[in-house]
Structure 1
Amino acid sequence: MKKTERYIYPAVFTYDAGQEIAVVFPDLDVATSGVDDNDALLSARELLGCALYGMEEDNEEIPTPTPLSDITTAKNERAVLVDVYMPSIRMAKVNRSVNRTVTLPAWLNAAALERNINFSQVLQEALMTKIQTNRM
Protein backbone atom coordinates (compact mmCIF):
# COMPACT_ATOMS: atom_id res chain seq x y z
CA MET A 1 0.00 0.00 0.00
CA LYS A 2 1.36 3.42 -0.98
CA LYS A 3 1.99 5.73 1.95
CA THR A 4 0.78 9.31 1.94
CA GLU A 5 3.51 11.80 1.05
CA ARG A 6 2.04 14.90 2.68
CA TYR A 7 -0.40 15.30 5.54
CA ILE A 8 -2.16 18.54 6.42
CA TYR A 9 -3.89 18.85 9.79
CA PRO A 10 -5.48 21.74 11.67
CA ALA A 11 -3.74 22.90 14.83
CA VAL A 12 -4.95 25.35 17.46
CA PHE A 13 -2.38 27.91 18.60
CA THR A 14 -3.20 29.36 22.05
CA TYR A 15 -1.71 32.68 23.09
CA ASP A 16 -1.53 33.45 26.83
CA ALA A 17 0.52 36.38 28.13
CA GLY A 18 3.85 35.35 29.64
CA GLN A 19 3.64 31.78 28.36
CA GLU A 20 4.85 29.88 25.34
CA ILE A 21 2.39 29.45 22.49
CA ALA A 22 0.55 26.18 23.06
CA VAL A 23 -0.19 24.10 19.96
CA VAL A 24 -2.78 21.30 19.97
CA PHE A 25 -3.78 18.94 17.16
CA PRO A 26 -7.40 18.12 18.01
CA ASP A 27 -7.60 15.19 15.57
CA LEU A 28 -4.51 13.51 17.00
CA ASP A 29 -4.71 14.42 20.69
CA VAL A 30 -1.09 15.62 20.78
CA ALA A 31 0.36 18.98 21.81
CA THR A 32 3.56 21.01 21.78
CA SER A 33 4.60 24.63 22.23
CA GLY A 34 6.94 27.33 20.98
CA VAL A 35 8.42 30.61 22.17
CA ASP A 36 7.10 32.51 19.13
CA ASP A 37 5.01 31.81 16.03
CA ASN A 38 7.94 30.44 14.02
CA ASP A 39 9.13 28.17 16.83
CA ALA A 40 5.57 26.99 17.50
CA LEU A 41 5.03 26.18 13.83
CA LEU A 42 8.32 24.28 13.56
CA SER A 43 7.53 22.37 16.75
CA ALA A 44 4.05 21.61 15.44
CA ARG A 45 5.40 20.34 12.13
CA GLU A 46 7.95 18.13 13.89
CA LEU A 47 5.32 16.75 16.27
CA LEU A 48 2.90 16.10 13.43
CA GLY A 49 5.54 14.14 11.55
CA CYS A 50 6.52 12.09 14.60
CA ALA A 51 2.92 11.34 15.57
CA LEU A 52 1.89 10.27 12.08
CA TYR A 53 5.08 8.27 11.54
CA GLY A 54 4.37 6.38 14.77
CA MET A 55 0.83 5.69 13.66
CA GLU A 56 2.07 4.43 10.29
CA GLU A 57 4.64 2.17 11.94
CA ASP A 58 2.01 0.77 14.33
CA ASN A 59 -0.44 0.25 11.43
CA GLU A 60 -2.96 2.50 13.16
CA GLU A 61 -5.69 4.17 11.19
CA ILE A 62 -4.74 7.75 10.31
CA PRO A 63 -7.72 9.97 11.20
CA THR A 64 -9.26 12.22 8.59
CA PRO A 65 -8.33 15.85 9.29
CA THR A 66 -11.15 18.07 10.47
CA PRO A 67 -11.82 20.89 8.00
CA LEU A 68 -10.30 24.15 9.25
CA SER A 69 -13.70 25.82 9.02
CA ASP A 70 -15.08 23.33 11.56
CA ILE A 71 -12.48 24.17 14.24
CA THR A 72 -13.88 26.33 17.03
CA THR A 73 -11.45 28.68 18.76
CA ALA A 74 -11.48 31.02 21.73
CA LYS A 75 -10.55 34.71 21.53
CA ASN A 76 -6.87 33.98 22.31
CA GLU A 77 -6.63 31.07 19.84
CA ARG A 78 -6.00 30.70 16.12
CA ALA A 79 -6.62 27.63 13.98
CA VAL A 80 -3.98 27.04 11.33
CA LEU A 81 -3.16 24.28 8.91
CA VAL A 82 0.15 22.49 9.50
CA ASP A 83 1.65 20.27 6.83
CA VAL A 84 4.36 17.66 6.97
CA TYR A 85 6.26 15.98 4.14
CA MET A 86 6.53 12.36 5.25
CA PRO A 87 9.31 11.00 2.98
CA SER A 88 11.84 13.19 4.80
CA ILE A 89 10.42 12.15 8.20
CA ARG A 90 10.59 8.48 7.25
CA MET A 91 14.17 8.79 6.02
CA ALA A 92 15.23 10.62 9.19
CA LYS A 93 13.87 7.73 11.25
CA VAL A 94 15.86 5.15 9.30
CA ASN A 95 19.10 4.59 11.15
CA ARG A 96 20.13 1.20 9.92
CA SER A 97 23.63 0.40 8.80
CA VAL A 98 24.48 -0.30 5.18
CA ASN A 99 27.59 -1.94 3.79
CA ARG A 100 29.94 0.09 1.59
CA THR A 101 33.03 -1.15 -0.16
CA VAL A 102 35.97 1.26 -0.07
CA THR A 103 39.34 1.11 -1.76
CA LEU A 104 42.44 2.12 0.20
CA PRO A 105 46.12 2.11 -0.59
CA ALA A 106 47.69 -1.05 0.90
CA TRP A 107 50.07 0.95 3.12
CA LEU A 108 47.16 2.94 4.63
CA ASN A 109 45.16 -0.22 5.28
CA ALA A 110 48.17 -1.87 6.97
CA ALA A 111 48.87 1.21 9.12
CA ALA A 112 45.25 1.43 10.22
CA LEU A 113 45.05 -2.28 11.06
CA GLU A 114 48.31 -2.00 13.02
CA ARG A 115 46.71 0.73 15.15
CA ASN A 116 43.40 -1.13 15.60
CA ILE A 117 41.47 1.67 13.90
CA ASN A 118 37.75 1.05 13.43
CA PHE A 119 37.25 1.73 9.72
CA SER A 120 33.48 2.13 10.00
CA GLN A 121 33.74 4.64 12.83
CA VAL A 122 36.39 6.72 11.05
CA LEU A 123 34.36 6.77 7.83
CA GLN A 124 31.17 7.75 9.68
CA GLU A 125 32.94 10.57 11.53
CA ALA A 126 34.57 11.84 8.33
CA LEU A 127 31.29 11.77 6.40
CA MET A 128 29.42 13.57 9.19
CA THR A 129 32.12 16.24 9.28
CA LYS A 130 31.93 16.58 5.51
CA ILE A 131 28.14 16.98 5.51
CA GLN A 132 28.20 18.94 8.79
CA THR A 133 25.96 16.84 10.98
CA ASN A 134 26.37 15.13 14.33
CA ARG A 135 23.54 12.62 14.00
CA MET A 136 24.50 9.04 14.74
Structure 2
Amino acid sequence: MLSIYPAIFYKEDDGRYSVLFPDFDVATCGNDLNDAMNMAVECLALQLVGLKRDGDPFPVSSPVDTVDPVAYAEELGAGKPSDYFVNLISVDADEYAKLHFNKSVRKNLTIPVWLNEKALAQGINFSQVLQEALLERLGG
Protein backbone atom coordinates (compact mmCIF):
# COMPACT_ATOMS: atom_id res chain seq x y z
CA MET A 1 0.00 0.00 0.00
CA LEU A 2 1.39 3.37 -1.00
CA SER A 3 1.80 5.88 1.83
CA ILE A 4 2.37 9.58 1.18
CA TYR A 5 3.63 12.13 3.72
CA PRO A 6 4.99 15.68 3.47
CA ALA A 7 8.66 16.27 4.15
CA ILE A 8 10.43 19.56 4.69
CA PHE A 9 13.76 19.94 2.91
CA TYR A 10 16.19 22.54 4.27
CA LYS A 11 19.35 23.37 2.33
CA GLU A 12 22.25 23.73 4.75
CA ASP A 13 25.11 26.20 4.36
CA ASP A 14 27.46 23.39 3.29
CA GLY A 15 25.13 22.31 0.45
CA ARG A 16 23.74 19.28 2.23
CA TYR A 17 20.00 18.88 2.80
CA SER A 18 18.20 18.15 6.04
CA VAL A 19 14.83 16.43 5.70
CA LEU A 20 12.17 16.49 8.42
CA PHE A 21 8.86 14.65 8.62
CA PRO A 22 6.50 16.68 10.81
CA ASP A 23 3.98 13.82 11.05
CA PHE A 24 6.64 11.56 12.62
CA ASP A 25 9.06 13.96 14.32
CA VAL A 26 11.98 12.25 12.59
CA ALA A 27 14.70 13.59 10.35
CA THR A 28 17.34 12.46 7.91
CA CYS A 29 19.79 14.18 5.59
CA GLY A 30 21.60 13.84 2.30
CA ASN A 31 24.82 15.04 0.73
CA ASP A 32 22.86 16.63 -2.12
CA LEU A 33 19.22 16.88 -3.18
CA ASN A 34 19.16 13.48 -4.90
CA ASP A 35 20.71 11.77 -1.88
CA ALA A 36 18.29 13.60 0.43
CA MET A 37 15.31 12.37 -1.62
CA ASN A 38 16.55 8.78 -1.41
CA MET A 39 17.18 9.11 2.32
CA ALA A 40 13.69 10.58 2.79
CA VAL A 41 12.10 7.53 1.16
CA GLU A 42 14.21 5.20 3.33
CA CYS A 43 13.41 7.18 6.49
CA LEU A 44 9.68 7.08 5.76
CA ALA A 45 9.81 3.36 5.00
CA LEU A 46 11.65 2.66 8.27
CA GLN A 47 9.05 4.60 10.26
CA LEU A 48 6.12 2.83 8.62
CA VAL A 49 7.66 -0.65 8.90
CA GLY A 50 8.39 0.00 12.59
CA LEU A 51 4.84 1.17 13.29
CA LYS A 52 3.38 -1.82 11.46
CA ARG A 53 5.69 -4.24 13.29
CA ASP A 54 4.65 -2.75 16.64
CA GLY A 55 0.96 -2.81 15.74
CA ASP A 56 0.68 0.98 15.96
CA PRO A 57 -1.50 2.99 13.57
CA PHE A 58 0.04 5.22 10.93
CA PRO A 59 -0.43 8.94 11.60
CA VAL A 60 -2.77 10.85 9.35
CA SER A 61 -0.79 12.60 6.64
CA SER A 62 -0.82 16.37 6.99
CA PRO A 63 -2.08 18.23 3.92
CA VAL A 64 0.97 19.68 2.21
CA ASP A 65 -0.48 23.21 2.25
CA THR A 66 -0.69 23.15 6.07
CA VAL A 67 3.00 22.39 6.61
CA ASP A 68 4.88 25.56 7.61
CA PRO A 69 8.63 25.00 7.19
CA VAL A 70 9.58 28.28 8.90
CA ALA A 71 7.40 27.66 11.96
CA TYR A 72 8.64 24.06 12.19
CA ALA A 73 12.29 25.15 12.05
CA GLU A 74 11.72 27.81 14.71
CA GLU A 75 9.91 25.26 16.90
CA LEU A 76 13.02 23.07 16.68
CA GLY A 77 15.22 26.03 17.64
CA ALA A 78 16.90 26.14 14.25
CA GLY A 79 15.96 29.75 13.53
CA LYS A 80 14.50 30.95 10.25
CA PRO A 81 15.72 28.89 7.31
CA SER A 82 16.52 30.72 4.10
CA ASP A 83 16.33 27.90 1.56
CA TYR A 84 13.59 25.29 1.98
CA PHE A 85 10.66 23.54 0.30
CA VAL A 86 7.99 20.98 1.14
CA ASN A 87 7.68 17.84 -0.96
CA LEU A 88 5.46 14.79 -0.75
CA ILE A 89 7.35 11.54 -0.23
CA SER A 90 5.67 8.28 -1.18
CA VAL A 91 6.66 4.70 -0.46
CA ASP A 92 5.14 1.26 -0.37
CA ALA A 93 6.69 0.25 2.95
CA ASP A 94 6.06 -3.47 2.50
CA GLU A 95 7.69 -3.54 -0.92
CA TYR A 96 10.57 -1.34 0.23
CA ALA A 97 11.18 -3.65 3.19
CA LYS A 98 11.22 -6.72 0.94
CA LEU A 99 13.82 -5.12 -1.32
CA HIS A 100 16.02 -3.41 1.27
CA PHE A 101 15.43 -4.72 4.78
CA ASN A 102 15.02 -8.46 4.30
CA LYS A 103 18.50 -9.48 3.24
CA SER A 104 19.32 -13.16 3.55
CA VAL A 105 22.06 -14.51 5.78
CA ARG A 106 23.80 -17.85 5.56
CA LYS A 107 23.25 -20.28 8.43
CA ASN A 108 24.90 -23.65 8.88
CA LEU A 109 22.98 -26.46 10.50
CA THR A 110 23.62 -29.99 11.60
CA ILE A 111 21.17 -32.83 11.00
CA PRO A 112 21.53 -36.62 11.11
CA VAL A 113 22.85 -38.26 7.93
CA TRP A 114 19.72 -40.39 7.47
CA LEU A 115 17.49 -37.27 7.62
CA ASN A 116 19.69 -35.47 5.10
CA GLU A 117 19.54 -38.43 2.69
CA LYS A 118 15.75 -38.71 2.92
CA ALA A 119 15.30 -34.99 2.38
CA LEU A 120 17.67 -34.93 -0.61
CA ALA A 121 15.87 -37.93 -2.12
CA GLN A 122 12.60 -35.98 -1.98
CA GLY A 123 14.15 -32.79 -3.36
CA ILE A 124 13.39 -30.76 -0.25
CA ASN A 125 14.69 -27.18 -0.18
CA PHE A 126 16.39 -26.90 3.22
CA SER A 127 16.35 -23.09 3.28
CA GLN A 128 12.64 -22.95 2.52
CA VAL A 129 11.79 -25.55 5.17
CA LEU A 130 13.86 -23.75 7.80
CA GLN A 131 12.25 -20.39 6.97
CA GLU A 132 8.75 -21.86 7.12
CA ALA A 133 9.48 -23.60 10.43
CA LEU A 134 10.94 -20.44 11.95
CA LEU A 135 7.98 -18.36 10.81
CA GLU A 136 5.56 -20.92 12.26
CA ARG A 137 7.48 -21.05 15.55
CA LEU A 138 7.63 -17.24 15.74
CA GLY A 139 3.95 -16.87 14.94
CA GLY A 140 4.55 -14.94 11.76
TM-score by length of structure 1 reads: 0.63
Identity, in percent, stands at 29
- Aligned counterpart, 1:37: 33
| 2:16 pairs with one of 16, 20, 38 | 20
Q: Deviations over 1:33-61 (max 9, x none)?
A: 00111100000001100110000000011
Structure 2 unaligned regions, length at least 5: 71-81, 106-125, 128-140
Paired position in structure 2 for 1:80: 87
Q: Displacement of 1:86 after TM fit?
A: 2.3
Structure with greater helix share of residues: 2
Consecutive unaligned residues in structure 1, runs of 5 or more: 98-119, 122-136
CA shift, 1:69, in A, is 0.3
Q: Kindly state the Cα deviation for residue 89 of structure 1 after the two structures are TM-superposed.
A: 2.2
Alpha-carbon separation, structure 2, partners of 1:83 and 1:19: 24
TM-score between both structures, scaled by the size of structure 2: 0.61
Corresponding pairs, count:
96
For 1:67 and 1:29, locate their aligned partners in 2 and report how far apart those are by CA, in whole Å.
Answer: 16
CA distances 1:98-131 after superposition (whole Å, capped 9, x unpaired): xxxxxxxxxxxxxxxxxxxxxx79xxxxxxxxxx
Question: Which AA in structure 2 matches 1:10?
Answer: P
**Superposition deviation, residue 19 in structure 1:** 4.8
Output the aligned Cα RMSD: 2.4
